[in-house]
Structure 1
């Protein structure tokens, strides 16, 4: 490729803040795969946040880039999949499959879209040194005729509207608001934007742990569960950000609760050969197909309060954070009913023409 901003490029990042700051350009925070797209004629590359290429996983996006984008450009955005008028991150994760035949099938069954929110280069011009207000205007012009796969994210400088977006758009699967200073140049791998995300707490049952990667007598992560109406314990995520001293202390504290898999609600051994099932329901990683998914089962007797931003299906979308232990809570009371349910909001009301998969 012969572009003024050649691949790979690490995307510009955002730091978390507690409130939406004034005096900026505001956008919905999309929940997908952050991607920088490079197009030079018929050549198209999709680079992920960690600069890992994703081109092979989204052939429909590559084809649409040739059809819808300017002949030579570099666009920053998010690859998303929309089903039932909301974002579906689980369906997006399933697209990262090693088999080419599976990739082709999923591209037809659950086609992805691209939400563009910055323009790094156009033709022979490097735009990264321009203020964001000028890059945004150039992006709107460059993608004015794009669609149905490529869309420009909504943006506003109205703080009151941004606050309304923060409250309403979660119902369509979005997870907050991004604020960009109008004079901000594009700074790869720098946290110079701002993000505001929903913060909530939930009381969860600790049903197991994974050992720390050091191999020492230390806990790497705790496995969390919530009870369904039928009394079954569902896996909802993990917490793992502990100081090393705490990891050692937890290992010792939890030994009296260690049990065998016989009688434990999560006997996942039968599912280990089915990687799609394991990744989707038991927290595995499509970025690391060889990840060890084994764990030490515990009697589900301890309750922990965790912080989380939102749910993706029946799991925490991002790794939850430890808040405090709850010895006063009965594990049986830790149910899905405690979770806040955002009001439904249609993606088509956020980005008109955004395609949805069946």
Structure 2
């Protein structure tokens, strides 16, 4: 069966109509101290989404303002069951595995095959965590202060159920700092601070976010070329498990253009011309049904994107900074810190990783 077509933006009589770019956050190092006007929320690790509902018309708008409807049909139905008949709600699509968030499973939902989407919608249904209200009925609330929008959101979600949830909020900076540490064990990746008097400003970084950061020593086992030409686009990182198998755990990609060119020369002594000698050689055999993310895997977001890689002898060790793990991989792009010539590749194992204490998602959402 061919992949479903992207739905067109429906005509809606709402006071705020799609597409709307979500309001964004600026990264800071520490939880900001209360100055009399801040409200703090957990930072959910999922897909940002603005939900538009006008009766039976539902539009799930992504951060890039394209629809999520085809990938999350179960959420379309949940919106009809659990949200007010006419509303616009900002939040995050998340997927849980027991009492923790599972971003890797969430990414599996972005699949071109309609049959696969239907299967996953039943096997791994997603939820929506709401944290802002842009419109309700005929009222446009985007210029209202956030404290008012939050109060109206609590009212609007009074009839919500299992799949539409409300994020907790606190005005206490000490409690927020506790949340920052505790909630990571449930898969959340930080904290967001918003001014109680601020309006909703699409596509502007007027909120603040604090994310966890750790470091790890990883093996560099390959690289991808930059889209602009034969310079380094990203380094492919690996860690060894207890059985001595090297696993692809993520990438480091944030380099100035001059540094990308310099890296080509630094990596030349480690180039492998025979892929069969590489620990990831078997990963060239894959197709659109491949579920494990691999260095040369087909992108679920862009099927035309070239994700092939240039193999390197796994002898270089690099220290990178990262926020959190997602399963056995580093979540988000890791930041290059320095080469580690004093470390052997074999010493780069999962044992070095600092894992957060577990926490219960239901306890977070009950606050």
Q: TM-score band (shorter)? A: over 0.9
CA contact (8 A) 1:220 1:240 kept: yes
Name the structure 2 match of 1:9: 20
CA contact (8 A) 1:114 1:150 kept: yes
Q: What SS does structure 1 have at the residue aligned with 2:333? A: coil
Does 260-269 or 11-20 show the bigger shift?
260-269
Deviation at 1:91, TM superposition (A): 1.1
Distance 1:5 1:118 in 2: 13
* TM-score when normalising by structure 2: 0.93
CA contact (8 A) 1:87 1:174 kept: yes
Q: How does 1:39-118 map to 2 (within 5 A)?
A: 39-118=53-132
Deviation at 1:274, TM superposition (A): 4.7
Does 286-295 or 302-311 show the bigger shift?
286-295
**Residues 280/32 of structure 1: CA separation in 2 closer, same or farther (3 Å cut):** farther
The RMSD of aligned alpha carbons is 1.5
Distance 1:312 1:240 in 2: 18
Structure 2 stretches of 5 or more lacking a match?
1-11
Q: How many residues align?
A: 352
User: Deviations 1:235-284 (Å, cap 9, x if unpaired)?
Assistant: 00111111122111111121111112122101144433255335367665
Distance 1:3 1:283 in 2: 41
Distance 1:284 1:270 in 2: 10
Structure 1 stretches of 5 or more lacking a match?
354-358
User: Deviations 1:149-195 (Å, cap 9, x if unpaired)?
Assistant: 11110001011111111001000000011100111110000000000
CA contact (8 A) 1:219 1:250 kept: yes
Name the structure 2 match of 1:251: 264
Distance 1:182 1:77 in 2: 17
User: Deviations 1:24-45 (Å, cap 9, x if unpaired)?
Assistant: 1111100011000000000000
Name the structure 1 match of 2:334: 320
Distance 2:25 2:282 in 1: 37
* TM-score when normalising by structure 1: 0.95
Distance 1:342 1:180 in 2: 25
Q: What SS does structure 2 have at the residue aligned with 1:133? A: helix
* 1:292 counterpart = 2:306: yes
Q: What SS does structure 1 have at the residue aligned with 2:162? A: coil
Name the structure 2 match of 1:177: 191
Name the structure 1 match of 2:244: 231
CA contact (8 A) 2:90 2:132 kept: yes
* 1:240 counterpart = 2:253: yes
Deviation at 1:342, TM superposition (A): 0.5
Deviation at 1:93, TM superposition (A): 0.8
Distance 1:253 1:172 in 2: 40
CA contact (8 A) 1:235 1:282 kept: no
